[in-house]
Structure 1
Amino acid sequence: MTLLVHVTAAKNVRSVRRAGIRADSIGHGGMTGVYCLPVLPSYQITYQWVRELRRGGQRAMIAVHFRVPDDEPVLVGHYNRTPLQLSSAEAAALVAEQQDARGYELFLPRPVSAKEIHRVRSVNQVTGWRYMPGAHGSPPCACPVCNFPGQYGAAKIRKAFGEP
């Protein structure tokens, strides 16, 4: 059984414990499912998405650990590339053997039942990366897709690049 972790808002903890994780995320090809990562020895890689997901407005995030059969089909890959379809055990091994696994994700194309949940825990809220892996030290992009109007500091960034 492969141990995976899904990061969600802390306000969802009661619902997750009662009914499991809904398959309401849209993946590649328009299919619905659950984004997750394998639990690895590296805390930073396992919970790398916490800081980026907090940018969506949630104040506190939790980690939901669950088990799936080793032969369960999942999609795996870097978030901005086309994913591969592998078994959950093969996908966990693929992520674990990467030199830099920041930005990798697994997509389970089904909901997770409450019976499959192993543990729900709090996580360090400043773990992970923001914007994109390796963005620290590089200047921010001023385009309206990356730096949408109304975002904290957006006007200052656009002004620095001479954008209107």
Structure 2
Amino acid sequence: MTMLVHITPAKNVRAIRRGGIRAQSLADASQTGVYCLPVMPSYQLTHQWVRELRRGGQRTLMAVHFRVPDGEEVSVGHYGSPRVHVSSAEAAALVTELEDPRGYEVIIARSIAAKEIHRIRRVNQVTGWRYSPDAHGTRPCPFCDPGGYGASKIRKAFDEE
């Protein structure tokens, strides 16, 4: 059984304990599924999506650990790239063995039943990256977030160089 983790707002925990994780339409709207990552030896890499997901306005996020059969077909890939279809065990091995697994995601094309959930736990709210895995130290896009917190200070720092 492959252990995976799904990051969700704390307000969803009661419903998840009762009925599991519901599959939702994905970003490209072509299918439905559950975003997750394999549990890796590194806490930072396992929960890398927390800061990026908090940008959506959620105050507290929780980690839902669950198990799926090793042979179940999932999609895996970097969030901006095409994904490949492999078994869940192969996806976990692929992501875990990468030199830099930041930005990768596993998608299960079905809902997760409540009986498959192993545990639900709090997660450090400042873990992970924002915008993209290597965004720190790069020039910000003036059109993407012109009025964001600290945006003028960041633009000014790059203009002085």
TM-score normalised by the chain length of structure 1: 0.89
2:125 is aligned with what amino acid?
A: Q
Distance across 1 between alignment mates of 2:72 and 2:123 = 26
Distance across 2 between alignment mates of 1:120 and 1:54 = 18
Distance across 1 between alignment mates of 2:83 and 2:155 = 37
Check the 8 A contact 1:3/1:65 in 2, yes or no: yes
**Aligned residues: CA RMSD:** 2.0
What 5-or-longer segments of structure 1 have no aligned partner? none
Report SS of the residue matched to 2:53: helix
1:108-127 mapped onto 2 (5 Å cutoff): 108-127=108-127
Q: CA deviation at 1:152?
A: 3.7
What residue in structure 1 maps to residue 141 of structure 2?
A: 141
Q: CA deviation at 1:25?
A: 3.6
1:57 is aligned with what amino acid?
A: G
What residue in structure 2 maps to residue 128 of structure 1?
A: 128
1:57-68 mapped onto 2 (5 Å cutoff): 57-68=57-68
Q: CA deviation at 1:157?
A: 7.5
What residue in structure 2 maps to residue 95 of structure 1?
A: 95
Note the alpha carbon deviations across 1:108-131, whole angstroms, 9 max, x for none. Answer: 000001010000000000000000
Note the alpha carbon deviations across 1:57-100, whole angstroms, 9 max, x for none. Answer: 00000000000000010000000100000000000000011000
2:8 is aligned with what amino acid?
A: T
Q: CA deviation at 1:29?
A: 6.5
Report SS of the residue matched to 1:53: helix
What residue in structure 1 maps to residue 39 of structure 2?
A: 39
Distance across 1 between alignment mates of 2:39 and 2:27 = 21
1:157–1:85 Cα change, 3 Å: farther
What 5-or-longer segments of structure 2 have no aligned partner? none
Check the 8 A contact 2:66/2:119 in 1, yes or no: yes
Distance across 2 between alignment mates of 1:151 and 1:132 = 16
In the TM superposition, structure 1's runs of 4+ consecutive aligned residues that sit over 6 Å from their partners are none
Distance across 1 between alignment mates of 2:150 and 2:16 = 34
Check the 8 A contact 1:2/1:67 in 2, yes or no: yes
Identity %: 65
Distance across 2 between alignment mates of 1:27 and 1:112 = 19
Check the 8 A contact 2:139/2:155 in 1, yes or no: no
Distance across 1 between alignment mates of 2:6 and 2:123 = 11
Check the 8 A contact 2:4/2:39 in 1, yes or no: yes
Report SS of the residue matched to 1:64: strand
TM-score normalised by the chain length of structure 2: 0.91
Q: CA deviation at 1:36?
A: 0.1
